[in-house]
Structure 1
Amino acid sequence: MDQLDRLLFGDNQFFGVNHMSEEKARAQAMRFQDIKAVIKVLDNAYDEGVKSFMCTTHDRIAQVCDHMRADPVRYKDFKFMPCMPYAHKYANAVTEDGIMGALRRFTPDEGFLNAALRGGKALATKDIEGIITLLVDAEMKMFAGLNTPVIFLQNVVVDLLLGLGFKDAFSIFANHVRKRYNAEPGFITMNLPMLLDVLEEQGIDNPIVCSNINKVGFRMSGGFDAYQSALRDRKFRAIAMSVFASGAIAPEEAIEWVCQQPNIEAIVFGASSRGNIRNTRELVDRYWPAAQEQAS
């Protein structure tokens, strides 16, 4: 099991997601309409040593994949960490192309008929495993030939499955990702304590779990104390997101605090400028070794 990079680059800023400011979100969405602007920021991150990109499977990420595939020498150390599914993509495709057209657009290259029959059988027999694996393969199509060491299940789906009590879906996803893509399964959640209980019940050992972890408890469902207890006492590989609480915590204060927490393996962050990327990297370089030394 490979160690994660300490810093992972996220994609919220590229698609107009900002949890504190709608105005800023709109401005970012306008700026990054041109895929060249997205690639410039990714190049800046890569050149600053941030080489793992934790991204949704938005249609425009396919253009980023094409760009990276076209220059394998330049991007030989670049790692994609897809987060799926991207629900809006499916809804839009069905609207534009109909159900069969959408299937044709997203199904893997192993053959449309095979995938359609697989999906049809799954729907006809309510074979949930078939549906899940078909959707994963459809989402992974754009990443063919690229390095994808971790594949994440998005928090919208993770937390919906938790709410519905459909626990088997997590082991189905994990087994398929390992078997077909030789990748580690990852899970994004807004309720870390509840998810860890279910993953343990499903026999998913030492899972990679990404959740909000920050000094002020911003969007940490289940309670701040429960998160600290989980980090201290549970066996899992934690990725911290929303460490700045969407700007509510000063960068240095946020990074210093999160680096002092036990069992944090990586931090995912978003930024639009090379200066902000460099600043975050330098803060992590400054505080992470001190935190590790204290823990040992």
Structure 2
Amino acid sequence: MIDRILFGDNQFFAVNHISDEKSRAQSIQFKNDDAIVKTLDHARDAGLNTFMCTTHDRISAICDVIRRDPEKYEDYKIFPCMPYAHKYANAVTELGITGTIKQYVPGNLFGSLFKGGMAVLSKDYISLIELMIDAEMKMFKGINTPVIFLQNVITDLLIGLKAEEILMAYYNHVKKKHNAEPGFITMNMPKLYEILERNGVENPIICSSINKVGFRMSGSIEAYEQVLRTKRGRFIAMQVLAGGAIPPEEALEYICSLPNIESVLFGASSKRNIESTVSYINHFDEKQMTTAMAS
């Protein structure tokens, strides 16, 4: 079972969809890894034991902290989200294609290169996807990673290309090789659900922008709500504040009123904002439960 509230990492890497000024402030605030760990501990103190994060290079140092203190982080989980596209783009710029392959390809170098090389020559993108997953997962060795997500930049590209076989290759590889549940991040939840359902995936894990103003939601709000009402899945709502366009209380009351939202993903820079967000979600969940019992 996925926790009701998940803690995200956008704030650590200066990702803000509304304010460049806030992005710059966060970049300064989290320039040291200790600041990231401190905020994660604030989230843990508020009851949040799942960290959903990209495979940004700095996450490797956070994983080292977790591995060094297994007792403290005994029940802690990380949901990796891959690939972190900027990492590869920057690496190619700095190291070249060969240098990037040497840095990120896991396991036996020549065996992996052979597999990857054949993939390029034969346009076997499925093999490339498998290599990418294995490379990205290296930093999480020894850490509990029960769900592994495909980032929306790839998910939605594959949806647009109608490359369903590659989506399913990712799904199958994560289950078989990494003994984890595959998750998908998307900006088009109704379309992705249709594809997964058609390919026999039951009760999928889908993380998508869900908010009352349709921010970064491809398709209508009504289409999303229809899926939530009528389909079986483990749906995770992200960007619930619409990048700051909706006041937290109003945004979270709407999210908690929706059926079939298993989890809410959010990020915050301060202990106060973490605690207030958790408090709002708990309050509106209790309100929904009370209403349901009374009806």
TM-score normalized with structure 1 length: 0.95
Paired with 1:49 and 1:131, the residues of 2 have a C-alpha distance of 38
Q: Which 4+ stretches in 1 moved above 6 angstroms?
A: none
Find out whether 1:213 has 2:210 as its counterpart. yes
Q: Is the 8 A contact 1:214 1:242 kept in 2?
A: yes
Residues 295 and 152 of structure 1: CA distance in aligned 2, closer, same or farther (over 3 Å): farther
| Aligned amino acid, residue 207 of structure 2 | C
1:103 to 84, 89, 101: 101
What residue number does 2:19 align with? 21
**Are residue 54 (structure 1) and residue 15 (structure 2) matched?**
no
In 2, distance between residues paired with 1:93 and 1:25?
Answer: 23
Alignment of 1:48-87 (within 5 A): 48-87=46-85
Query: Given residue 100 of structure 1, which amino acid in structure 2 is its aligned partner?
Result: T
Across the aligned residues of Structure 1 and Structure 2, the Cα RMSD in angstroms comes to: 1.3
**How far, CA to CA, are the matches of 1:65 and 1:87 in structure 2?**
20
In 1, the alpha carbon distance for the partners of 2:215 and 2:27 equals 24
CA distance in 1, matches of 2:215, 2:94: 38
- Report how far residue 176 of structure 1 moved: 0.5
Distance 1:264 1:64 in 2: 29
Report the counterpart of residue 245 of structure 2 in structure 1.
Answer: 248
CA drift at 1:25 = 1.0
Query: 1:295 deviation in Å?
Result: 5.3
- The Cα shift of 1:286 comes to 1.4
AA of the residue aligned to 2:59: I
Q: Which amino acid aligns with 2:33?
A: I
Which of residues 229, 232, 246 is equivalent to 1:232?
A: 229
Q: In the alignment, does 2:127 pair up with 1:130? A: yes
Could you tell me which residue of structure 2 aligns to residue 39 of structure 1?
37
Of 257, 261, 264 in structure 1, the residue corresponding to residue 261 of structure 2 is 264
Are residues 1:182 and 2:168 paired? no
Query: Any idea what SS the aligned residue of 2:206 has?
Result: strand
Structure-2 separation of matches of 1:17 and 1:293 = 37
1:277-296 matches, cutoff 5 A = 277-292=274-289, 294=291
CA distance in 2, matches of 1:69, 1:16: 25
Q: C-alpha distance in 2, partners of 1:169/1:292? A: 40
TM-fit CA distance, 1:291: 2.3
Instruction: Work out the CA distance in 1 between the residues paired with 2:96 and 2:230.
Output: 49
* Amino acid in the other structure paired with 1:25: S
CA distance in 1, matches of 2:287, 2:117: 54
- Quote the offset at 1:292 in angstroms: 4.3
Q: Are the counterparts in 2 of residues 168 and 202 from structure 1 also a CA contact under 8 Å?
A: no
Q: Which moved more, 1:278-287 or 1:95-104?
A: 95-104
What's the secondary structure of 2:235's corresponding residue? Answer: strand
Identity percentage over the alignment?
54
Cα deviation, residue 294, structure 1: 4.6
Aligned AA (1:260): S
Instruction: Answer whether contact 1:170 1:202 (CA < 8 A) is retained.
Output: no
Partner amino acid, structure 1, of 2:242: A
When the two structures are superposed, what TM-score results if normalisation uses the length of structure 2? 0.96
Structure 1: state its 5+ residue gaps: none
Match of 1:201 among 183, 198, 202: 198
5+ residue gaps, structure 2: none
Query: 3-state SS of the aligned residue for 1:82?
Result: strand
- Tell me the distance in 2 between the aligned counterparts of 1:292 and 1:243: 21
Cα deviations by residue, 1:19-76 (Å, 9 ceiling, x for unpaired): 1111111111121111111111011111211111110101111111111111111111
Tell me the amino acid that sits aligned with residue 150 of structure 1. V
SS in 2 for 1:59: coil
